[in-house]
């Protein structure tokens, strides 16, 4: 296959699909039908390019229809994880030795394939994790952006870096890949994050083991298969599923030959990974790199001079997009006392208008939460909210053969109430009345997290930019929906390592600098 030219055109983000257009809606319906026709298949592990079928499998279930099996997936073991890591190391010398343009070419071909099959990837997410059409489309668009952007970044970082001139010597700094690592993506952005986690290290010349979340193995399979169809050599990316992520994932985190770990998920698991990766085990000759994104309790601060209609819209969209199952979800609204009584009815009306049901329906507002454990957790926090605040809308499970729950809003919440201070990962919004802007800042920052946040107002915009502590701050817009290389994504404190996925420094997580000095002989 031919390499991509050295000079790629400037990166541009992928536009979203307008499903109000009948042609686009019809195309998506066709993709849903095509993906539905593939349900129930059995999928193997893939190690060093070899497909490995196992007798022991686990099922991925449609959270909107609990009687529907998405697919059966091989239940990998520690031994399979061991073999996959070895395969990644075996493939590393050749892949690292290729030109950055060769590596970028694979990613660019993968991006082109994903553009052509865009709705199929989105349809898979509708069926496997319950994303609505727009949420799924945005996920796929972000995956395309990651592929295109990291391809370019791999070429850019491979170039010699400038240094200060010194008489009699030639000095250069080059960035070289680390080795073989592990990607542990989440189920909530199963195409975008899986694609980004796999391809950022690969673009930099590393090799990988991809261990998908057990709730979303099909979508990760589609990402893996896309890359091998695009020409990724055998062993550069190895695919290992398992019914209990701690089995294979935990083993690879602790393995002395794992060079780096890329993880998105809960704070508890992220902290465990960080701790275990910090232990130097027999035979280990490096300190492991860890890229971790671990969640948030994100807030929207509404000042007294805010556009209340825009603020209410941003609050509701940020809180209930994908059922609130985003680490960036704005699950707290901190509202200036002068406008609290005026904006609350606007929020309630917009939340009440959010429909709940099968995400296969075009225009559906919310689908299901991912699994029974998530539904139980959300209902438990609804009970807490009824004790701690005033139920304004929702507050119940929704009908259907799935994990459905209403968009729920609680008013008059104390800043330290459970619904206003703990990450729920579901469609619950807590409204907190604050005396003034300064009090709002105090509540906004009064959390162990620091991922995203938003400010609606005019007078205190510059102060908000300085004083609101989070990795992604949005002024007068919702706090979700970061775009690749537009809003590099990553948070502070217990939200993770702030590695800024989709940012121009992200590939440095998977590279090491080599300074080369050559004394000139006369």
My answer on whether 452 and 508 are in the same domain is: no
My answer on whether 434 and 456 are in the same domain is: yes
In-domain check, residue 521 = no
My answer on whether 218 and 306 are in the same domain is: no
User: Tokens standing for 354?
Assistant: 């959010």
**CA nearest neighbour of 214 among 82, 329, 371, 86:** 371
Options 101, 128, 142, 327, the catalytic residue: 327
In-domain check, residue 15 = no
In-domain check, residue 324 = yes
| CA distance linking residue 254 with residue 88, whole number of Å | 16
My answer on whether 76 and 209 are in the same domain is: yes
| CA distance linking residue 273 with residue 290, whole number of Å | 8
Other C-beta atoms within 10 Å of 6: how many? Answer: 11
**CA nearest neighbour of 43 among 22, 59, 32:** 59
Residue 3 has pLDDT above 80, yes or no: no
Residue 6 has pLDDT above 90, yes or no: no
**Coil, strand or helix: which one is 430?**
strand
pLDDT, tens only, 394-437: 999 999 999 999 999 999 999 999 999 999 999 999 999 999 99
CATH code where residue 254 lies:
3.40.605.10
- Nearest 5°: the CA angle 108, 110, 115 is 95
In-domain check, residue 269 = yes
- 260 burial type by CB count under 10 A (0-12 exposed, 13-18 middle, 19+ buried): buried
Helix (H) / strand (E) element for 31: namely helix 22-36
Residue 1 has pLDDT above 70, yes or no: no
Residue 522: per-residue pLDDT: 67
Residue 247: per-residue pLDDT: 94
| Residues ≥6 apart with Cβ < 8 Å to 343 | 302, 306, 308, 311, 312, 335
In-domain check, residue 38 = no
pLDDT above 70 coverage of the chain, percent = 98
Residue 4 has pLDDT above 80, yes or no: no
CATH code where residue 441 lies:
3.40.309.10
In-domain check, residue 75 = yes
Residue 5: per-residue pLDDT: 43
- CA distances, 204 to each of 255, 378, 485, 518 (Å): 22, 40, 17, 25
**What is the phi/psi pair of residue 402, to 5°?**
-160, -175
pLDDT above 90 coverage of the chain, percent = 98
My answer on whether 168 and 252 are in the same domain is: yes
Q: What is the mean pLDDT of residues 380-387?
A: 98
| CA distance linking residue 297 with residue 423, whole number of Å | 5
pLDDT, tens only, 223-277: 999 999 999 999 999 999 999 989 999 999 999 999 999 999 999 999 999 999 9
My answer on whether 449 and 344 are in the same domain is: yes
State the pairing for strand pair 472-475/69-74: unpaired
pLDDT, tens only, 93-136: 999 999 999 999 999 999 999 999 999 999 999 999 999 999 99
My answer on whether 235 and 368 are in the same domain is: no
Residue 319 has pLDDT above 70, yes or no: yes
Residue 2: per-residue pLDDT: 41
| CA distance linking residue 464 with residue 318, whole number of Å | 19
* CA-CA-CA-CA torsion sign (92, 97, 103, 105): negative
Please answer whether residues 320 and 305 qualify as being in contact, where contact means their C-beta atoms are separated by less than 8 angstroms.
Answer: no
In-domain check, residue 312 = yes
Helix (H) / strand (E) element for 59: namely strand 57-61
User: Tokens standing for 103?
Assistant: 């590596």
| CA distance linking residue 518 with residue 516, whole number of Å | 7
Q: What is the mean pLDDT of residues 42-65?
A: 98
My answer on whether 148 and 245 are in the same domain is: yes
Residue 478: per-residue pLDDT: 98
Residue labelled with tokens 């196992």: 54
- CA distances, 193 to each of 13, 139, 200, 290, 478 (Å): 16, 9, 10, 16, 21
pLDDT, tens only, 150-196: 999 999 999 999 899 999 999 999 999 999 999 999 999 999 999 99
Q: What is the mean pLDDT of residues 69-88?
A: 98
My answer on whether 250 and 366 are in the same domain is: no
Catalytic, 517? Answer: no
Options 135, 142, 293, 360, the catalytic residue: 293
Residue 521: per-residue pLDDT: 83
Mean pLDDT of the chain: 97
My answer on whether 132 and 97 are in the same domain is: yes
| CA distance linking residue 149 with residue 133, whole number of Å | 24
pLDDT, tens only, 478-487: 999 999 999 9
pLDDT, tens only, 426-467: 999 999 999 999 999 999 999 999 999 999 999 999 999 999
Catalytic, 242? Answer: no
Q: What is the mean pLDDT of residues 319-331?
A: 98
My answer on whether 193 and 321 are in the same domain is: no
Structural domain span for residue 132? 55-294+498-515
In-domain check, residue 337 = yes
Q: What is the mean pLDDT of residues 297-308?
A: 98
- 165 burial type by CB count under 10 A (0-12 exposed, 13-18 middle, 19+ buried): exposed
Q: How many domains does the chain have?
A: 2
My answer on whether 130 and 267 are in the same domain is: yes
């Amino acid at each position: 296959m031919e390499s991509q030219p050295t000079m790629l055109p400037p990166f541009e983000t992928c536009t979203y699909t307008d499903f109000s257009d009948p042609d686009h809606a019809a195309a998506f319906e066709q993709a849903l039908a095509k993906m539905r026709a593939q349900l129930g298949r059995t999928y193997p592990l893939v190690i060093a390019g070899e497909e490995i079928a196992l007798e022991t499998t686990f099922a991925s279930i449609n959270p909107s229809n609990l009687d529907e099996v998405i697919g059966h997936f091989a239940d990998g073991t520690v031994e399979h994880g061991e073999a996959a890591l070895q395969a990644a190391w075996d493939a590393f010398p050749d892949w690292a030795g290729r030109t950055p343009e060769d590596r970028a070419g694979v990613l660019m071909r993968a991006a082109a394939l994903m553009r052509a099959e865009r709705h199929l990837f989105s349809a898979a997410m509708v069926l496997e994790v319950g994303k609505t059409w727009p949420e799924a489309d945005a996920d796929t668009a972000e995956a395309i952006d990651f592929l295109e952007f990291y391809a370019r970044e791999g070429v850019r970082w491979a170039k010699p870096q400038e240094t200060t001139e010194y008489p009699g010597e030639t000095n250069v700094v080059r960035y070289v890949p680390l080795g073989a690592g592990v990607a542990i993506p989440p189920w909530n952005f199963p195409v975008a994050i899986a694609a980004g986690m796999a391809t950022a290290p690969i673009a930099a010349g590393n090799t990988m083991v991809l261990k998908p979340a057990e709730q979303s193995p099909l979508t990760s399979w589609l990402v893996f298969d896309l890359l091998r169809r695009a020409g990724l050599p055998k062993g550069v990316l190895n695919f290992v599923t398992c019914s209990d992520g701690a089995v294979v994932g935990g083993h690879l985190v602790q393995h002395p030959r794992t060079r780096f770990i890329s993880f998105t998920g809960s704070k508890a698991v992220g902290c465990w990974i960080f701790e275990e990766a910090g232990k130097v085990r027999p035979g280990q000759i490096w300190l492991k790199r860890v890229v971790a994104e671990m969640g948030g309790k994100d807030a929207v601060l509404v000042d007294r001079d805010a556009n209340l209609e825009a603020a209410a819209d941003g609050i509701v969209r940020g809180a209930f997009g994908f059922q609130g199952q985003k680490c960036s979800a704005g699950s707290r609204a901190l509202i200036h006392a002068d406008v609290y009584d005026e904006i609350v009815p606007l929020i309630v009306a917009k939340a009440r208008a959010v429909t709940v049901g099968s995400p296969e329906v075009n225009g559906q507002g919310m689908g299901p939460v991912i699994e029974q454990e998530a539904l139980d957790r959300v209902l438990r926090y609804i009970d807490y909210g009824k004790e701690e605040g005033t139920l304004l809308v929702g507050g119940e499970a929704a009908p259907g053969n799935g994990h459905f729950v209403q968009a729920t809003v609680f008013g008059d919440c104390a800043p330290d109430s459970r619904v206003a201070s703990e990450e729920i990962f579901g469609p619950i919004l807590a409204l907190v009345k604050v005396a003034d802007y300064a009090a709002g800042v105090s509540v906004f920052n009064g959390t162990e997290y620091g991922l995203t946040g938003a400010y609606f107002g005019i007078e205190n915009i510059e102060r908000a930019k300085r004083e609101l502590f989070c990795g992604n701050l949005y002024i007068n817009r919702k706090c979700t929906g970061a775009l690749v290389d537009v809003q590099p994504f990553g948070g502070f404190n217990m939200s993770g390592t702030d590695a800024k996925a989709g940012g121009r420094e992200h590939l440095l997580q998977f590279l090491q600098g080599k300074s080369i000095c050559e004394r000139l002989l006369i």
